[in-house]
Homo-oligomer: A and B are copies of this chain.
Amino acid sequence: MTVENLSSNKSFGGWHKQYSHQSQSLNCAMRFAIYLPPQASRGQKVPVLYWLSGLTCSDENFMQKAGAQRLAAELGIAIVAPDTSPRGSDVADDEGYDLGQGAGFYVNATQAPWNKHYQMYDYIVNELPRLIESMFPVTDKRAIAGHSMGGHGALVIALRNSEAYQSVSAFSPISNPINCPWGQKALTAYLGRDSATWSEYDASVLMRNAKVSNGGTLVPAMVSQGEADNFLAEQLKPEVLQAAAKVSGYPLVLETHEGYDHSYYFIASFIEQHLKFHAEHLR
């Protein structure tokens, strides 16, 4: 497998790097970014936080705007930021910003034309961690986090793969996609009109049904939500997630913050809290 290094920037004593590789799951070339803290340059293996971005984003938004590297350097955590969908001129797309390229929703599409490339769930759960763990000085301890569509992705992936992640967190996640316009549009396109198949990609349904099984544990979850977020009532619905956690007794901490919106200014303001939460569980 060819993996090409596209850029390297020293950052807080560590390195931000972008790579391109041919993805088997997605059947196209994919770019991702990794921040390697200074500990990694000194030969120490570090745990990895996977960050899933929101609609329209690439690997760059979080790395440039969240201000996460300072804490990642201090805590000794690598951060991996994949793209939000398959990309390319031969990859199916839609003119809306909320479907197609930049809007993969972290599902495995079953419907044409999407199913040829849109297998983001497999990419994030299986292919990407295998690649990261083979290429970089990292341990097999993983955490996962994301924003908006990426918050949905992070919660769903942690809820369905509790053995693989130590902790999960989300900013402003699409908490109940089967019941909001963004989610219904994407799930109809990628999975088809039969909404019975949608539930395995709905964090609120999964959290409501979560059970400790096989001696495992539930992945501790933290969610931060701005109260001045324009998408709060129609698209995000954190109250549905919170009610689901109450039913199953899920270890969810949901905090709301007065005055904050849906932007990276909100994420930057609270990323320190999220990284410290993950660091505690990655130890």
Query: CB of A260 within 8 A of chain B?
Result: yes
Q: Residues of B contacting A12 with CB < 8 Å?
A: 268-269
Q: Residues of B contacting A69 with CB < 8 Å?
A: 265, 268-269
Q: Name the CB-closest residue of B to A11.
A: B265
Residue tally, chain A, CB below 8 Å to B:
23
User: What is the oligomeric copy number?
Assistant: 2
Q: Name the CB-closest residue of B to A226.
A: B10
Query: CB of A261 within 8 A of chain B?
Result: yes
- Asked if A265 and B65 make an inter-chain contact with CB atoms under 8 angstroms apart, the answer reads no
- Rounded to whole Å, the gap between the CB of A30 and the closest CB of chain B is 22
What does the 1/0 interface line of A130-169 toward B look like (CB < 8 Å)? 0000000000000000000000000000000000000000
Q: Residues of B contacting A16 with CB < 8 Å?
A: 265
Within 8 A of B (CB), among A228-283: 228, 257, 259-261, 263-266, 268-269
- Rounded to whole Å, the gap between the CB of A220 and the closest CB of chain B is 25
- Asked if B67 and A261 make an inter-chain contact with CB atoms under 8 angstroms apart, the answer reads no
Within 8 A of B (CB), among A38-85: 64-65, 67, 69-70
- Asked if B64 and A264 make an inter-chain contact with CB atoms under 8 angstroms apart, the answer reads yes
Which of B9, B10, B65, B228 is A10 in contact with, Cβ under 8 Å? B228
Going nearest first, the 4 A-B pairs with the smallest beta carbon separation are A67-B67, A9-B265, A10-B259, A11-B265
